[in-house]
Structure 1
Amino acid sequence: MNIPKKLIDAYNKGSFGIFIGAGVSQSAGLPSWNKLLNELIDLAVDINIGDEKERELRLLAKIPSKYLLVAEELKEILSSDMPKFITKRFNDKSIDSPEYLDRLIKELSYRFVITTNYDNVIEKAFVKASIVPNELTYRDPSSINYNFINEEVFILKAHGDAKRAPEDIVITEKDYRRIIYNSYGYKSILEALFSTNHLLFLGASLNDPELILLLGYIHNIFQGGSPDHFALMSNKDLTQTEINRWRKDFNINIIPYDPKDNHKEVAVFVNDFIKRVEKKS
């Protein structure tokens, strides 16, 4: 698979981070946004929300732009039942990290890994690589800053951790506004990570509401000339206009791939990328 020279050069400069999106967790067997919302609707049906409400929510759950709205509604309906479900669903001990992620974590050099996922798939890849990173969330801005300044490898679970604090996960736009507006330090750290490092996005999607939310809140740094970032994305329904806009609006260069054969090209990309770059010392 063709690996852009621009990406190789960016990696070899040394200021490099990895962003793990929802697609990686889905490849490990965890639910997509649509499936998660429908599972939560099933839970809401059990507490008798009524047929009309169920039909309405299931229709909205088919529309990516409505995912966060549906999540907000379900959070109010389910109350304390939602974090219990999130813990059970995303802290599934039978779920394993995909092989391409294991290689990426073990063989590349990076300063940090960021994810909007709630699960522990990334942590499992680190265990296999015998690396013990610091695991941090949006509630740990001082620790994130300390690790970043001291060049200690860390995982930033930007939207929370299903295992450590399921009640604190970010699953609606209101949740994210709350943490951004109440924690200027955290927002500043996010801006620092994206403005001083090249990032490789894996498992990202143009329809991922959490990624769009994250990029939206740090949009200003991209206008200020951040480093080039790169995103491996399925070419399904991907238009040239979208590719152009992500490059112009976020400095994210999209690398399209064919999703056939269960996204086999993702593993091919990772293997080829590892062969082309300087190896971890």
Structure 2
Amino acid sequence: MTVADVNKNFVEKVGEARKSKSLIFFIGAGVSASQGYSSWNDYVKHLIEYWKYNFNRLESDHPYKTDWIDQLDWLQESSFTNERKVDFIRYLVKKYAKNSTYEKEVLSFEKEYFNKILPSSNQNLILNELTRIPAIYITTNYDSQIENSLKQVLEVEPYVINSTKEFGKHLVNNEIDAPSSTVIHLHGDAHTKPADFISSSTSYSNLYYKGNEINNFYFRKIKEFLRGKTIVFLGYGLEEDQVLAKLGLDSNDTCAFALMKKDDHKFNNLIEGYYKERQSIQIEWYGTSFEDLPVFVKKLADKLIGIDKDDENEKLRRILLDE
């Protein structure tokens, strides 16, 4: 384990943003995976298995037929992408369910999987350190581990916005009408409406690619909100161009960093240059293994808290000296 030193400029930028309440942490799937949450492949596999044996939840008028399981078995073994497999599952649930049942049951698995089933570890070491730093959290994850860490570490009840649409609705004069302990789930969570739970090819397309006037309006508001903010990506692969494009990171007054693992090769400068020039994101290397990330985040939090203590000591000194 080789944890990198925290760059002084990075500490200063994060510290300034924290003081001006313009700091945002963007949390990706890697942070949840560190706690033992299953991969995307496992999620889709378990989703198919769930629906094989929960046909009765659909209150279907169709007689239970072996073709229900046959279709899901075929889907499991197919070469479709995971997002397309979710599309097929939603299609089948819609096809067999009573109209009044679909909305209630289509996310029944996700409500259990992302809300009630515990990961292998009951603590997220990355989030426990990160939540020591006041910020707004944006995530594409479906689970509630950011909220849990905020409750455990800060003993506050986080304010949760559970879809991109709701995020846009909360923006007033380009600012969010919510406290700093706000968690925004761009792709939904276990409590969102089915239409706002972004996990299938169709739902991704509807949100990011199709010229939906309402979605475009909300994304324009989100871009305006992010202007002048400092965004730090953690556990996020930076490969979802459709998400990055909607954030407007190329704005001159938006500052973006990404914490990344440093591989042992000579092309790290190429990676830095690409993301800086093409995506307007400054790469900060946290170490050589994923286990280094919580240690790096702890070092960052300690430095920021140390700056606070130094500021308080300086204020006290000035008071005592009557300056």
Q: Is the structural similarity TM-score above 0.5?
A: yes
- How far does the alpha carbon of each residue in 1:33-60 deviate from its partner, in whole angstroms, 9 at most, with x for none? 2221222343466632266543223xx5
Residue-by-residue CA offset, 1:150-203 (whole Å, 9 max, x unaligned) = 573221111112134456311134324434523334202321243321111111
Identity over aligned pairs, percent: 22
**2:145 aligned with 1:138, yes or no?**
no
Using the alignment, how far apart are the partners of 1:224 and 1:167 within structure 2? 30
SS class of match (2:295) = helix
Conserved 8 A contact 2:174-2:224: no
Structure 2 residue 108 is the aligned partner of structure 1 residue 84 = yes
Runs of at least 5 residues in structure 1 that lack an aligned partner in the other structure: 61-65
Q: What CA distance in whole angstroms lies between the structure 2 residues aligned with 1:234 and 1:29?
A: 19
Q: Does 1:56 align with 2:56?
A: no
Name the TM-score, length of structure 2 as normaliser.
0.70
Report the counterpart of residue 32 of structure 2 in structure 1: 25
Inter-partner Cα distance in structure 2 for 1:184 and 1:167: 16
Give the Cα separation in 2 of the matches to 1:38 and 1:163. 22
Which digits, 9 at most, give the CA deviation of each residue in 1:116-154, with x for residues without a partner? 111111110111111233211323223244793557322
Aligned mates of 1:178, 1:89 — CA distance in 2: 24
Q: Which amino acid aligns with 1:195?
A: R
How far, CA to CA, are the matches of 1:151 and 1:39 in structure 2? 35
Aligned to 1:274: 301
Q: Which has the larger radius of gyration?
A: 2
After superposition, the Cα gap between the structure-2 partners of 1:179 and 1:237, relative to the gap in structure 1 and judged at 3 Å, is: farther
- State the AA in 2 paired with 1:29: G
Q: 1:147 to 1:217 in 2, by over 3 A?
A: closer
Q: Match for 1:13: what amino acid? A: E
Preserved CA contact (<8 Å) 1:222 1:249? no
CA deviation map 1:254-278 (0-9, x unaligned): 2334564xx3201111111112224
- For 2:6, give the aligned amino acid: I
Partner of 2:222: 190
**Residue ranges of structure 2 left out of the alignment (5+ in a row):** 54-68, 95-101, 313-323
- Equivalents in 2 of 1:108, 1:226: separation in Å? 22
2:7 is aligned to 4
Q: Does 1:203 align with 2:235?
A: yes
Show the counterpart of 1:63. none
Aligned-pair CA distance for 1:243: 3.7
Alignment correspondent of 2:319: none
Q: TM-score, normalised by structure 1?
A: 0.79
- Equivalent-residue separation in structure 2 for 1:237 and 1:145 (angstroms): 46
- Aligned equivalents of 1:165 and 1:50: distance in 2? 24
Runs of 4+ in 1 over 6 A off after TM superposition: none
